[in-house]
Amino acid sequence: MQKHAPQQFLNRELGQLEFNRRVLAQAEDTRIPLLERLKYLCIGSSNLDEFFEIRVAGLMEQIKLGGISTSPDGMSAKQTLRLVRQEAHRLIEHQYRLFNDEITPALAEQGIRFLRRTHWNAEQQEWLKDFFFREVMPVLTPIGLDPAHPFPRVLNKSLNFAVELQGRDAFGRNSTRAIVQAPRVLPRTILLPAEISGCEYGFVFLSSILHAHVGELFSGMEVLGCFQFRVTRNSNLFVDEEEVKNLRLSLQGELPQRHFGDAVRLEIADNCSPQIEALLLKEFNLTADDLYRVHGPVNLVRLMEIPNLVARDDLKFPAFVPGIPSLLQKKGADMFKAMRKGDILLHHPYQSFKPVIDFIQQAASDPDVVAIKQTVYRTGADSALMEALIAAAKRGKEVTVVVELLARFDEEANINWANRLEEVGAHVVYGVVGHKTHAKMLMVVRREAGRLHRYVHLGTGNYHPQTAKLYTDFGLFTCSEEVCADVNEVFSQLTSLGRARKLNHLWQSPFSLHAEILRSINNETRLAKAGRRGHIIAKMNALLEPGIISALYEASQAGVKVDLIVRGVCALRPGVPGLSENIRVRSIIGRFLEHTRIFYFRNDLKHDVYLASADWMDRNFFRRIEVCFPLLDRKLKKRVIDEGLKVYLKDNCQAWDMDADGHYRQKSPRRAEKSCAQNSLLKLLSSTPVKG
């Protein structure tokens, strides 16, 4: 395979910031319901938080350790960090302009107001003063800074206030500065009664209440200034899996430290005094480049709760009821009987996740079921599936759960489920040292007519009922003996020792997936060179692995048509003459988070279609346990091509086309018939079709 030059790859971190620009564009789009625009603004802020916690933190750590290695695009960590800081500053400035100049005034026109303290009337002041003394002041612990009271430990992403003071305290000390930390138990936005606020929905930020009454915390002293600030910290967990004897215990010891990792970003109010700014930068060992002055609340993510507090359906996306395949619509439908009739495909969130829950609940209560095995990556703190596994173990069934303890930001929930499962006698394993278990697999073993039969569910997304309402994913039910044997083999690898055997249909990381994807791409190249038509369509969350990108470049040069639907970051440069003129890259940003991984290869009219848990990234190919599975049923294969690929290639409403420099341009339906993939799928698959 030809090795391509660094300039033929795009930078990962800058690509992630480009993705966030596309998310913020949703908040700007006046065609989208207003409260949903506010949500997109919050999602963009949340994305940036994680970007700093993980990606920026990683760059800073590399520089700190003296790393000189470069990424595939040829840039060093120092070069990347410089560009990332520039782009992040521009992005955050844009974010707050959007909030202050567009979203806030538009909400006010709809009777949803954020009441600023400079505009409170006497009645509002009295109500909020009472709220402060009753709900806020009792849980505050102001800390005056002096030799006996050093700067307190500040939690990651918490709301804090730096206070400048004048005068002497009760002990005669001439204290000039203090820190007030807002406890996490306090809501960040407070809804006032309509008769007090003067509008249907009047909200006050907790920061405004603290600003207005901070003097009550420092009796007899003069408050010269009160400034909100927020610190983002490195949230990477440092657990040496090769050294620890018990990964779960080590992780439990490491989790609390996540809140106090090295600081990577400081956000302060734009009116913060130079003295406080200098104090905070010194305290957190940051430079001016890491400082972000904001005009508004330092944590926009907290506004995500606003739409839930506002009963205005006209300002939200229309509700819908997810569809259920006709075979499963009858109440109490027997999942095992239905699967014996043929493979069943679910397309979430357009189709309900309930059959997956029914499958495992039926397995838990069925006396003929003898064993259940499942992988758990993200399932949430409250999960009907996990409760069903616990119930199955209590009934004496053999329950084996492969829990991924290092699922970022879900570690604590997964540890809790592991504890509960072990308490009832389930077998809990943590996969393979050095490889995250990211595969989505569920297998049930049932005794029928004296023989054991396997039933399997494979998915592109997590076993998480809540995200199944928001993420697009496919799930396949099958009792194909060969596919079930493959799944059983993967479970055996995860729980026991021994060499990996060759699988019938599944491609698996870290063994065969990368090689099989390369083989399939190269096969299209070979066919194109032989004068036949070559076509590749791939849909995923991210495309970064250099070997795959190089193979796609070679396919393009051979005349293969390559359509890539990549939601997030893509390091491949499309449309470069002589390199990638036959490659098109687009991103779909809509109501639902695009999460499906679909790989289509024309293969001389065989039309091979695979679904996977893996993106085309180094980590997915080489450092994770992933599975990629084919659609063997022709009707289901056609469904995936139509519902998962073709409709997205036609989209001219929510699609963004990428240019060779990594910039995106949103498609416009003005000169063509309007085509919106997600709306089309809602009409096709949900029980209550929506307008639009």
Q: Which residues are catalytic?
A: 438
DSSP structural state of residue 589: -
Let me know: does 688 contact 319? Beta carbons within 8 Å: yes
Token pair, residue 487, equals 């799944």
User: Which strand (E) or helix (H) includes residue 153?
Assistant: none
User: Identity (one letter) of the amino acid at 395?
Assistant: R
Token pair, residue 531, equals 């004068």
Quote the distance between the C-alpha of residue 358 and its chain's center.
26
Listed residue (304, 184, 326) closest to 685, CA to CA: 326
For 311-330, the three-class secondary structure string (H helix, E strand, C coil) is CCHHHCCCCCCCECCHHHCC
| Residue at token pair 């990234």 | 617
User: Identity (one letter) of the amino acid at 622?
Assistant: F
Token pair, residue 626, equals 């992933």
Provide φ and ψ at 652, rounded to 5°: -130, 20
User: Identity (one letter) of the amino acid at 509?
Assistant: S
Provide φ and ψ at 523, rounded to 5°: -65, -40
Token pair, residue 296, equals 């508004």
Q: Residues with Cβ < 8 Å from 121, sequence gap 6 or more?
A: 198
Report CA-CA distances (Å) from 551 to 79, 175, 560.
Answer: 27, 65, 11
Let me know: does 475 contact 345? Beta carbons within 8 Å: yes
DSSP structural state of residue 505: S
Provide φ and ψ at 173, rounded to 5°: -80, 140
Let me know: does 449 contact 571? Beta carbons within 8 Å: no
* Cα gap 600→597, rounded to integer Å: 10
| Residue at token pair 């910039």 | 663
DSSP structural state of residue 611: E
- Interior angle at CA 182, CA 273 and CA 85, nearest 5: 55
User: Which strand (E) or helix (H) includes residue 671?
Assistant: none
User: Which strand (E) or helix (H) includes residue 609?
Assistant: strand 608-612
Total residue length of the chain: 692
User: Which strand (E) or helix (H) includes residue 363?
Assistant: helix 354-365
Quick count: other Cβ atoms within 10 Å of Cβ 602?
20
